[in-house]
A and B are shown apart, each in its own frame.
Chain A
Amino acid sequence: MLDGTPKKIIERHSGGVINPAKTCQPIGAMYAALGLHGCLPHSHGSQGCCSYHRMHLTRHFRDPIMASSSSFTEGASVFGGGANLKTSIKNVFTIYNPDIMAVHTTCLSETIGDDLNSIVQSAEIPEGKIVLYANTPSYVGSHITGFSNMTKGIINQLAESTLEEPKEQVTILPGFVNPGDMREIKRIVKKMDIDYVMLPDTSGVVDSPMTGEFVMYPKGGTTVEEIKDSGNSQITLALGSFASADPANALDKKCGVPAKVLHTPIGIKATDSLLMALSKSFVREIPYDLEEERGQLVDIMTDTHFHFHGKKVAIFGDPDIVISLTEFVLSLGMKPVHVLTGTPGKSFENEINKMLTEAGIEGNVKAAGDLFTLHQWIKNLPVDLLIGNTYGKYIARAEDIPFVRIGFPILDRSVHSYLPVVGYKGAIRIIEMISNALLDRADRDAKDEDFELVM
């Protein structure tokens, strides 16, 4: 298949990409906006952008993904897209009647210089309806940056500090994770008996139940009241610095809610950090239920550690997820020798390199990389396991490596978006996925005399 990737590494001069490990900002903005209740995301650009984003999200979540487009034509690109956006605002509220319309830009509308603020200010918006917007130029950052920018835009335009004293409440920014993960984080916070606002929250939107009816705006999503109230929280926990640090800082700046940036809670250490942060900030004991889950996780880690020890792993995907996954596989005794994200950002390389140095592992680490590079690394230093999104399947096939799908997008398997990889439960699930992949391979490859019942 894609075994055309040569082993010999020749430096590329162009900065072009072969087989990307990222995509563009607007799709991240669209996903973030889907996490608001009663919101229709709107793509201010050509209709192809909107179509592609909906298609990609539809394939990952297997749920209807609704979003509208300004449908740029040649005229818009010459005279500006203001008229298209104003017509869109009128049509969206007349036809689809959302509570919120969340507009994001594209490379085209950014380059022709549409000023969203002034266009939205001068547009006719029906009473009681809200138009939010965020600048998401496709030529900066990645889909994670777009998710972050839309979340920041929502906070800047809606969050309010209305109380003298902050509420005993936490604002949780979950980052670009699946609705199954958001549900799990909420479950943990509830177990800690702490009030919260989660922003955005796509659970109940892109994993909505089958009822025999199509509901344009499903039950889930952060409500306008909750978003406003996020400014009254005692603290913000930003899970994953790439997706959540900027919006958390924006909330601090606007409403004075102090921000604490944590890792995405994948693995034992990152989940501990989340619980400790909650416990300290709100003076709560960790309930026995959660201690029990942690204990089970540790039990499973010890039961299975001999399967993992010393196994070489390659991990790629979105930076916040990859950082936490790397930390977790290290705690299992594995060796993450190739770690790559498509999203630009030196801090990714610094953080991973620090972990590897502490563990005494030499590895290849790269931000703003692509899967061609990852494939070449693997050809030069083979691994026992590959962890990443669907696109890893080409490499896994070419090199015949067990492959565990975690991240975005996953286009060739289902159910992934419903079940968590975060929290202790999520960590248990990851162990199950990794050990199944490794042991299924061992069974497949075993000679008759080595084929074992008990493993």
Chain B
Amino acid sequence: MQGLAIQERKESIFTKGEQRNTLTCDTDSISGSVSQRACVYCGARVVLNPITDAIHLVHGPIGCASYTWDIRGSLSSGEELYRNSFSTDLREQDIIFGGEKKLTQAIDDLVTKYHPPLVFVYSTCIVGVIGDDLEAICKAASLKHQIEIIPIESSGFIGNKSAGYRAACEGLLRLIKNQPNPIPPKEKNTLNLLGDFNLAAETWIIKSYLERVGIKLNVTLTGDSSYEQIKKTPIASLNIVQCAGSMIYLAEKLKEEYDIPYLRISFIGIEDTIASLRKIAAALGDEQIIKNIEKLIRKEQEKTWPVIDYYKHKLQGKKAAVYVGGGFKAISLIKQFRELGIEVVIVGTQTGSQAEYQTIGDLVQQGTVIFDDTNPAELENFIIDKGADLLVGGVKDRPLAYKLGTAFIDHNHDRKHALCGFVGAENFAKEVYSTVCSPVWKAIRTGGMTE
């Protein structure tokens, strides 16, 4: 296999049934590979960007701000400030003499213009090298403007995307811990949703389920959240964590500092949605909520299964490849594809943990290829070798899949429909069908103009 020419990569790939069930993960990408991974800044930015009323100021040359301008796909029910792109646009002079003065002025300009309650200042690669003291500048500006201005240490080279998630969580924690007034007591049956970013309105779907059974969603970190809401984080009696890769650290910290227990949940696929709802009910221990949740599950299933079965009939026996950011999502997707009669034959993640790969290994059939991080050459070989009909991936994988004549679904920022909960399962089934069974593939396979 051409892709395996990188010796170091061998430790990061295995085939179930053929080799030992462990693989190396959470390593840095190899120099010279066409890695799909992003950087620390990217990790921090994607986690914090959905905070709607904050100014997200990128301290660095223009690129980092340009590429992240409104690409998150997270929706807001209120402010739209987060959809702008703010940069200090560092120039050569600033690299030589330092960018501190420019940063201070940029904060002054933006605060005067927009009067935000909150500013995040992201450091980029170059800031880590020229040594601007972000902490000191943000502190001074904060005093001057009497609002919170939080530095995010996200220089690109200090780690991978996971390090950026951590930096974002540190920023959130700072915001949560800085409480001008005493924190009100915890509220019963009130929870926070961590690691959901309201892509295609997904937070709102989860929120509607919770409200229907009598649970109050206090704040979502960070989908459709605001400064005021985030401040109220400590009043919840339970945290539920959807995207664990980005938020488990914060969940741990909130448990330590505020004694809020947390549950890992996943609203991807019917099986995991039901399991998650029951887990939440059990954790809250409220008889009425338990009853309500069972009723909701019954009602939603009545609507959803006929739709799923309709598509299952058409999709039975197809094979899928999954390459997503986190391990937990990969696990849910394997189960969800089974609901549609589809086996996952290739599965990989960018930031999965050892334990998650173990679970994946237990879940999949013999012969399934499992890998940590990848490059296009490898991915191509896997898809061809395993005869996958569909790839679930991110932006850069879409045209690659299409070129191979393989159907594609974006389960990342470019998703077009909500993919969580019961309604998300219906959307997912419809989307899988519309791409796998599209007539366009016939144009390739019927081989051109020879009659």
Interface residues of A (CB under 8 A from B): 1-2, 4, 6, 10, 12-20, 22-24, 26-27, 40, 42, 45-56, 58-59, 62-74, 76-77, 84-85, 87-92, 94-96, 106-108, 111-112, 137-140, 142, 208, 210-216, 342, 391, 394
A interface footprint on B380-412 (CB within 8 Å = 1, 0 otherwise)? 100000000000000110111011110000000
Is the Cβ of A108 less than 8 Å from the Cβ of B125?
Answer: yes
List, in ascending order, chain A residues with CB within 8 A of B113's CB.
Answer: 6, 10
In the complex where A84-B31, A139-B91 touch, is A15 in contact with B67 (Cβ < 8 A)? no
List, in ascending order, chain B residues with CB within 8 A of A58's CB.
Answer: 395-396, 398-399
In this complex, which of B39, B86, B95, B105 has the most chain A Cβ atoms within 10 angstroms of its Cβ? B39
- Closest chain-B Cβ to A203's Cβ sits at a distance in Å of 16
Distance in angstroms between the alpha carbons of A196 and B105 in the assembled complex: 51
A interface footprint on B425-451 (CB within 8 Å = 1, 0 otherwise)? 000000000000000000111000000
In the complex where A16-B87, A76-B157 touch, is A48 in contact with B39 (Cβ < 8 A)? yes
Distance in angstroms between the alpha carbons of A45 and B29 in the assembled complex: 13
Is the Cβ of A17 less than 8 Å from the Cβ of B30?
Answer: no
Residue B128 CB within 8 A of the other chain: yes
List, in ascending order, chain B residues with CB within 8 A of A211's CB.
Answer: 403, 444
Is the Cβ of B66 less than 8 Å from the Cβ of A213?
Answer: no
In the complex where A77-B129, A94-B5 touch, is A64 in contact with B403 (Cβ < 8 A)? yes
Is the Cβ of A48 less than 8 Å from the Cβ of B80?
Answer: no
Q: 17 additional contacts, CB 8 Å, given A14-B88, A17-B88, A47-B156?
A: A1-B80, A14-B108, A16-B105, A17-B87, A19-B69, A20-B85, A23-B63, A24-B64, A27-B63, A46-B156, A64-B396, A64-B399, A71-B28, A108-B126, A111-B95, A139-B126, A212-B405
List, in ascending order, chain B residues with CB within 8 A of A216's CB.
Answer: 376-377
Distance in angstroms between the alpha carbons of A321 and B145 in the assembled complex: 41
* Contact for A142 among B28, B62, B160, CB less than 8 A: B62
| Chain B residue at minimal CB-CB distance from A66 | B34
Interface residues of B (CB under 8 A from A): 2-3, 5-6, 28-42, 57, 60-69, 80-81, 83-92, 94-95, 102-103, 105-106, 108-110, 112-114, 124-126, 128-130, 156-160, 375-377, 380, 395-396, 398-400, 402-405, 443-445
List, in ascending order, chain A residues with CB within 8 A of B83's CB.
Answer: 1-2, 394
Is the Cβ of B444 less than 8 Å from the Cβ of A26?
Answer: no
| Chain B residue at minimal CB-CB distance from A146 | B63
Is the Cβ of A51 less than 8 Å from the Cβ of B91?
Answer: no
Distance in angstroms between the alpha carbons of A342 and B89 in the assembled complex: 11
- Closest chain-A Cβ to B210's Cβ sits at a distance in Å of 29
In the complex where A45-B125, A51-B39, A107-B126 touch, is A71 in contact with B33 (Cβ < 8 A)? yes
In this complex, which of B30, B375, B405 has the most chain A Cβ atoms within 10 angstroms of its Cβ? B30
| Chain A residue at minimal CB-CB distance from B43 | A48
In the complex where A4-B84, A52-B67, A64-B403 touch, is A90 in contact with B38 (Cβ < 8 A)? no
- Closest chain-A Cβ to B276's Cβ sits at a distance in Å of 31
Query: Can you give 15 A-B contacts (C-beta < 8 A)?
Result: A2-B84, A18-B86, A23-B62, A46-B40, A47-B37, A48-B38, A51-B35, A52-B63, A58-B395, A63-B403, A77-B129, A87-B32, A107-B124, A107-B126, A140-B91
Distance in angstroms between the alpha carbons of A40 and B34 in the assembled complex: 10
List, in ascending order, chain B residues with CB within 8 A of A108's CB.
Answer: 125-126, 129, 156-157
List, in ascending order, chain B residues with CB within 8 A of A24's CB.
Answer: 61-64, 66
Distance in angstroms between the alpha carbons of A137 and B63 in the assembled complex: 11
- Closest chain-A Cβ to B405's Cβ sits at a distance in Å of 4
* Contact for B445 among A2, A96, A212, CB less than 8 A: A212
* Contact for B39 among A40, A46, A68, CB less than 8 A: A46
Distance in angstroms between the alpha carbons of A112 and B155 in the assembled complex: 14
- Closest chain-A Cβ to B249's Cβ sits at a distance in Å of 20
- Closest chain-B Cβ to A371's Cβ sits at a distance in Å of 9
- Closest chain-B Cβ to A9's Cβ sits at a distance in Å of 11
| Chain A residue at minimal CB-CB distance from B160 | A47
Is the Cβ of A95 less than 8 Å from the Cβ of B114?
Answer: no
In the complex where A16-B87, A64-B403, A111-B129 touch, is A74 in contact with B157 (Cβ < 8 A)? yes
- Closest chain-B Cβ to A249's Cβ sits at a distance in Å of 22
Distance in angstroms between the alpha carbons of A211 and B405 in the assembled complex: 8
List, in ascending order, chain A residues with CB within 8 A of B5's CB.
Answer: 94-95
Is the Cβ of B39 less than 8 Å from the Cβ of A49?
Answer: yes
In this complex, which of B62, B103, B126, B398 has the most chain A Cβ atoms within 10 angstroms of its Cβ? B62
